Amino acid sequence: MNAVLRQESGFRFRARTSLERPATSIRHLQPCNSEPWYLVQYFSSTLIVCTQSLRTDLPDPDVHESSNCITPGSKTMAGKFSRDSEFFLFFTFVFCAALTPNGVAMGQAQKHKPAAGLAASPPRGWNSYDSFSWLVTEQEFLANAEYVAQNLLERGYEYVVVDFLWYRKNETGASVHGGTDIIDQWGRLQPDPTRWPSSKGGLGFSLVAERVHSLGLKFGIHVMRGISLAAVQANTSILGTENARAQNIARLDDSCKWMPESFVGVNTSIYEGRAFIRSLYEQYASWGVDFVKHDCVFGTDLELEEVKTVSEILADLARPVLYSLSPGIGTSTDLAHQVGQYVNAYRVTGDTWDRWNQVRNHFDTARDFASSGLTGASGLRGYSWPDFDMLPLGWLTDPDANQGPHRTCDLSETEQRTLMTLWAIAKSPLFYGGDLRNMNNFTLSLITNSIMLEVNAKSRNNMEVNVQYPSSAARRMKASTTNVDSDDKRVWAACGDSGQVYLAVFNLGRREKTLAIPIDQIIQALRQRDPQSLWKCSGTEAWTNESVEIEHGVLSIEVPSHGSYLYSLSCS
């Protein structure tokens, strides 16, 4: 049976008598309209207010002190309404119900979300894959967890995740392409006791999770699709069934495309298949797992029924478990719409390594997913987020390597800033991949930058903006400047909680370029209405920490090759 997820309306009516709060005006209005008030009217002695109900866990917005972004200088929206009350209420309902958080028709933006839940902002943490491949040991893992607790937890990095093949024996001939995988009597994978000595005696990851939790962190593991061929070959019994065995539930013609020698699908259309999947995730919960990275079930490897089955099981567990899908090869926004409600994160790229061409290719993907209303849409017990993969920074290994960390990140410092700027403004989960035992000051400053993290967690209405220059702006630009809408120049914008505008400017080309960004076009894109002609803005650039003043409505900057800037601006 598929999971049934409830979706609450994104709008609510709130009625207050005029004696409680005699509203007369709306003031202190900001230019970034991420949560508009669509209607404020008096009817007899009752104020009817139609608002956006977003999952922010914040108090109801105040009619008088709203920081929602409406044209500065707006006159009062309060007034008497003397028409028939039934007509008024019907009009109010239809008008509000037809709009979305961006002020557009329903169906043109993301679905409304429940009032609170899991992954309320893009999750952050550390993952072992980029530094250790499959070979990480208990000692190495816990050393990295301790670094996260001491240096990154206060910045929101709370998950530490053991990536793939934690059940494979590290013996001669073993690799990502084959080896001996350890299972229990029920065909469930168990940690390799040589690498994970605390797992001996059938304890699994219980003691590792206990240590992680004692540090104030959350513990995660990587799992594969279906059932291991080790279990199928042993034809193990299936927990929770009378006499079913692994070979009764395995789909041998449905192997994982990139690991066909190790895993095949499970028939989730029968009770015995679902019982096996349930036994896996109940075991993970008993170990204390808080995060599951489920591999080979999305993109070109889509196993939607297995995803739905896992989601239903996780929804039934008392323990909240964040559910993430990987990888994202062949992913589309259509596929994302199919899985988003069942998960909390899903990869929209293949594996991301420290190669500039991979980073550059993510810009189109980020634009497409942001414009499809998928960022922060409804997910399992809360939200779901498109994921651009781990941050391949610091001390790394190589793809499919049979060794641990042995080299530094190949991206330049400029390119690393650009990667972080894109991940932040597009609101991707942030999972650091390097070995934290060899952290350097530059990389630490990069992943803990306060403006970058604020944008990643709190921004709204994130989008790529196709900037066009009016002639007045073009005359102020240097001769070397070209239009921003060409392929090697990108501009992103978003709204902040307090009405600020976040602006990210990228130069993906091979030469330094001078760009002039008309702020009125940024405001117009964010608010979807005509702004004033010249905005005055002030703020800070994230990476240089330099103050910026925009007096004539145009931000003119020199952007290095493969470089970026990230601004937090207040405009009036």
Q: Is the CB of residue 486 less than 8 Å from the CB of residue 467?
A: no
Joined tokens for residue 407: 């080299």
pLDDT at position 44: 34
pLDDT at position 392: 99
User: Which architecture does CATH list for 127-223+267-458?
Assistant: Alpha-Beta Barrel (3.20)
Q: Which residues pair with 554 in a beta bridge?
A: 518
* 454-479: b (≥16 Cβ within 10 Å) or e: bbbbbbbbbbbbebebeeebeeebee
Torsion-angle region of 294 (φ positive above 0: left; ψ -120 to 50: alpha; else: beta): beta
Tell me how far apart the alpha carbons of residues 327 and 376 are, in angstroms, rounded to a whole number: 19
Candidates 213, 218, 225; CA nearest to 304 is: 225
Q: Is the CB of residue 280 less than 8 Å from the CB of residue 225?
A: no
Candidates 458, 462, 440; CA nearest to 450 is: 458
Q: Which long-range contacts (CB under 8 A, 24 or more apart) does 48-51 make?
A: 48/13, 48/15, 48/88, 48/89, 48/92, 49/13, 49/14, 49/15, 49/16, 50/11, 50/13, 50/92, 50/95, 50/96, 51/11, 51/12, 51/14
Q: Which residues pair with 377 in a beta bridge?
A: 384
Beta pairing, strands 159-162 & 124-127? parallel
pLDDT at position 297: 97
The terminus-to-terminus CA distance of the chain in angstroms comes to: 53
* 288-323: b (≥16 Cβ within 10 Å) or e: bbbbbbbbbbbbebbbebbbbbbbbbbbeeeebbbb
Tell me how far apart the alpha carbons of residues 288 and 470 are, in angstroms, rounded to a whole number: 58
pLDDT at position 572: 84
Domains of the chain, residue spans: 11-97, 127-223+267-458, 462-571
For the chain, list residues with pLDDT below 50.
Answer: 1-31, 33-115, 472-485
462-571, what's its fold?
Answer: Immunoglobulin-like (2.60.40)
Beta pairing, strands 250-255 & 263-266? antiparallel
pLDDT at position 9: 36
Report residue 386: phi and psi, to 5°: -60, 140
Tell me how far apart the alpha carbons of residues 203 and 206 are, in angstroms, rounded to a whole number: 6
What is the pTM (predicted TM-score) of this model? 0.81
Give the single-character DSSP code of 10: S
- Strand ranges in 343-399 using DSSP code E only, listed in sequence order: 345-347, 377-379, 382-387, 395-396
